[in-house]
Amino acid sequence: MPLNNTFGPTGRELRFSDKIASINWIVVGFITAVCCIGFAMLYSVAQGSLEPWAGRQMIRFGIGIVIMFVVALIDIRAWISLAYPAYAATLLLLGAVEFFGRAGKGAERWIEIGPLQLQPSELMKIALILALSRYLHGLNLEDVSKPLRLIPALLLIMVPAGLVLMQPNLGTATILVVGGCGMLFLSGLSWKIIVPVVALGIAAVPVGWNFLHDYQRERVLTFLDPDRDPLGAGYNILQSKIALGSGGIAGKGYLQGTQSRLNFLPEKQTDFIFTVLGEEFGLLGVLTLMGLYLAILVQGTLIALEARSHFGRLVAMGVCLNFLLYILINTSMSMGLIPVVGIPLPLVSYGGTALITVLFGFGLLLSVQIHSGVDIPRSAANIW
């Protein structure tokens, strides 16, 4: 599909320069600001050095931002037609990980394609948003709650989530399921279905317990009582709380965080980077970051509400939901509100795939915003 064969809100064809001009630079600015906070924190946890994290993260950000703009400029109608093939390809990769994946940190999450290390589970977050949006784009409001229409949507969510859970990667599986169900909710799923399912879900917790891995159960138990084994599994939670608490209102100062500098914090460059921020910049630093996140989410929500196509709205909210879940899970884990789950703080934590995936997602969000005036016929959701 040719890129310039699209129509803006005025009905005329969108030129390349129009697209550039209509980009929501506010969102781009906020995203860049959050990433800069990330660089600063990675510099700090390396005891004031670009090596080994901050420097590489900057390069990845450079690559990621280019990908974001490319994705943003691609026509929204191209994305709807790519949704299913992309989903299918990612699902295949995810399956391949089960058999050829390389173990890292006890989880089979990577697959190597040449020099590239891929985490298909990360790609699946994007693929699921696209595929689910396309599927829901084709449904009427009342159809969403019809079992025969609902089941394919649920399969779209549950099949990859199941594969991810087998890796095992509880965090990403949670994001896939909650994010996917969130999109069903936004699509107007009937309360008559939501209420019983949620109730059933709560009742099923004891059953689900049996399906958890030992280390996952350990995390939950430890979370419920961090003093159970303060030097073992409860160590991370306790040390994170100590770091945040001792940061106080204004923090200990940049590069002055004793907890992180003296290695009391585990995984400080990835899962616990929020804690380093809280220790060194205190409540003010934490609220600043949370404020920036909220600003991005507000902008994303506005983009969703302004989009003309249902596909665009769902994609935009899907991206926002994903982003939100990252933030909520990571921060509440750092604060000791939920068990330790290996979920990074988006745009801040060290990690290539996650950063690029999130920026890819924002690319989609911007694409929805640039092409907000474009109508997409329901037939675009059909496979044939």
Interacting residue ranges for other proteins, rule: CB under 8 A:
140-141, 182, 185-188, 231, 239, 241-249, 258-259, 262-264, 278, 282-283, 286-287, 290, 294, 297, 301, 304-305, 308, 310, 313-314, 317, 324, 328, 331-332, 335, 337, 375
Shortest Å, Cβ 276 to other proteins: 13
Separation of CA 51 from chain center: 26
Q: Which residue, 299, 303, 289, 301, is CA-closest to 347?
A: 289
Q: Closer CB to other proteins, residue 178 or residue 358?
A: 178
Residue 225: other Cβ atoms inside 10 A: 10
Q: Closer CB to other proteins, residue 76 or residue 304?
A: 304
Per-residue three-class SS string for the chain? CCCCCCECCCCCECCHHHHHHHCCHHHHHHHHHHHHHHHHHHHHHCCCCCCCCHHHHHHHHHHHHHHHHHHHHCCHHHHHHHHHHHHHHHHHHHHHHHHHCEEECCEEEEEEECCEEECHHHHHHHHHHHHHHHHHHCCCHHHHCCHHHHHHHHHHHHHHHHHHHHCCCHHHHHHHHHHHHHHHHHCCCCHHHHHHHHHHHHHCHHHHHCCCCHHHHHHHHHHHCHHHCCCCCCHHHHHHHHHHHHHCCCCCCCCCCHHHHCCCCCCCCCCCHHHHHHHHHHHHHHHHHHHHHHHHHHHHHHHHHHCCCHHHHHHHHHHHHHHHHHHHHHHHHHCCCCCCCCCCCCCCCCCHHHHHHHHHHHHHHHHHHHCCCCCCCHHHHCCC
Shortest Å, Cβ 238 to other proteins: 8
Shortest Å, Cβ 150 to other proteins: 15
Shortest Å, Cβ 278 to other proteins: 7
Shortest Å, Cβ 313 to other proteins: 6
Q: Closer CB to other proteins, residue 140 or residue 382?
A: 140
Q: Closer CB to other proteins, residue 73 or residue 244?
A: 244
Shortest Å, Cβ 245 to other proteins: 2
Q: Closer CB to other proteins, residue 103 or residue 249?
A: 249
Q: Closer CB to other proteins, residue 66 or residue 287?
A: 287
Q: Closer CB to other proteins, residue 59 or residue 250?
A: 250
Shortest Å, Cβ 194 to other proteins: 11
Q: Closer CB to other proteins, residue 93 or residue 358?
A: 358
Q: Closer CB to other proteins, residue 139 or residue 156?
A: 139
CA dist 330 and 160 (Å) reads: 22
Shortest Å, Cβ 264 to other proteins: 4
Shortest Å, Cβ 176 to other proteins: 18
